[in-house]
Structure 1
Amino acid sequence: MTRGRVVLLNGPSSSGKSSIGKALLPLLPDPWFLVPVDAVSGMRSTVHTRTLDEVETSEMLRRTRRGYHRVVAALASTGNDVVMDYPLTEPWRLADLLDVLDGVDVTLVDVHCSPEELARRERRRGDRPHGLAASQTRVFSHGDNDIEVDTTTRTPAACAQDIATRLPTVSTPKAFDRLRGHHARPVARQSTED
């Protein structure tokens, strides 16, 4: 069975990833799933019989994100094409994705936006902690991508059109393959002594 493709929209909160993903779907020639991490997080119960402490909350969020990675991998493994809306805010996220999406054609799209515009959007949305977007500068710390767009002054539709146009022309090896080479675990040497 042919594996599906993945387009990973990576950028800080309020950069426009979700809007780009929605605008991108009708521009792609094949059927694609838009699977934002917020959709998976939104399936989790919000009412608990007890309050989770900081460590439990952190572990629950990590499990959720690891599960999200595997949902995308499962869809791709059965031939489905997936657009991910997901910020690479923690190094382990990228490392885990490099592992679970090994063998999948992944196109990494970095979605940029000026800090001033991110702060304005965050205030307007009102559903994010103040300063969240500004705190997510590390989403680009991996230092590689296949496509970059900037939503500071461009609409999501224009960015989506740019991605759809450039997608078939992205050269290989792609960013995920290059990054996988940088993140390769060293092979333990066996002793030649008996």
Structure 2
Amino acid sequence: MVAGQIIILNGAPRSGKSSIAAAIQEMFDDVWVNLGVDAYVRITPPRLRPGIGLRPGGERPDLEAFLPGFYAALYDSVAVHSRLGLNVVTDVGHHDAYSRPLDILRDCARRLAGLPVLFVGVRCPIEVILQRRAAISADGTYVTGSDEDPVPRPVRLWQEEVHKPGIYDMEVDTSLLSPTECADAIRQRLTAGPAPTAFPTLAQLRAG
């Protein structure tokens, strides 16, 4: 059986990852399953949320012990779907800025070794991120800027940490491209090549 393609969309919250994932499911041929942070948070016990969506800064060390297991389960599930011939798009926000050393990204890469993975960096300027947060934050779900604190620390940390080390097969900027245009660029990359290499290469680099 031919393994299904895996697309990993990595970026900060409100950078547009989930919208790109939805566009991929709508536009691409074949079956595309969305296994990402939003889906995983919904199955995470409320007392352990946001689970893999825990933001940088070490503010919840009581949750950090659960993260390696959560990520391992998510990526093993992604791998199983791929080996069964199903295509998977995964939207996540990888970082290692916890209160104690965690090298989650290397472990995730190891779990996908040998599978066709396209690792996509989803970029968006912090000014646009703040605008998007302000537009949907009436319920207080998202930290937003104010006159006293125009760029809150949690937002700044996401922007600084989520793209380290920043080794991708390709990048898209959602301040310049719509979700549909981003999805189309990803489809062209899958069609035209070159073959994806960044995710397994990153695993080798971090193992060294």
Residue 135, structure 1, aligned to residue 146, structure 2: no
Name the count of aligned residue pairs.
181
SS in 2 for 1:42: helix
Which residue among 82, 87, 91 is the counterpart of 2:88? Answer: 82
Q: Is the 8 A contact 1:146 1:175 kept in 2?
A: yes
**Alignment partner, residue 179 of structure 1:** 202
Residue 165, structure 1, aligned to residue 188, structure 2: yes
**Alignment partner, residue 152 of structure 1:** 175
Residues 170/138 of structure 1: CA separation in 2 closer, same or farther (3 Å cut): farther
Q: Is the 8 A contact 1:146 1:170 kept in 2?
A: no
Give the letter for the 2:129 counterpart.
L
Give the letter for the 1:46 counterpart.
P
Flag as ranges the 4+ runs of structure 1 deviating above 6 A: none
Residues 74/134 of structure 1: CA separation in 2 closer, same or farther (3 Å cut): same
Residues 54/110 of structure 1: CA separation in 2 closer, same or farther (3 Å cut): closer
Give the letter for the 2:185 counterpart.
D
Q: Is the 8 A contact 1:15 1:113 kept in 2?
A: yes
Identity %: 29
**Alignment partner, residue 188 of structure 1:** none
Q: Is the 8 A contact 2:107 2:203 kept in 1?
A: no
Q: Deviations over 1:38-81 (max 9, x none)?
A: 21111123269xxxx94432223443233222221221222221
Q: Is the 8 A contact 2:106 2:207 kept in 1?
A: no
SS in 2 for 1:181: helix
Q: Is the 8 A contact 1:111 1:150 kept in 2?
A: yes
Task: State the 1:144 CA deviation.
Answer: 1.6
Q: CA RMSD in A?
A: 2.2
CA–CA distance in structure 1, aligned partners of residues 73 and 196 of structure 2: 27
**Alignment partner, residue 22 of structure 1:** 22
SS in 2 for 1:124: helix
Q: Is the 8 A contact 1:11 1:87 kept in 2?
A: yes
**TM-score, normalised on structure 1?**
0.83
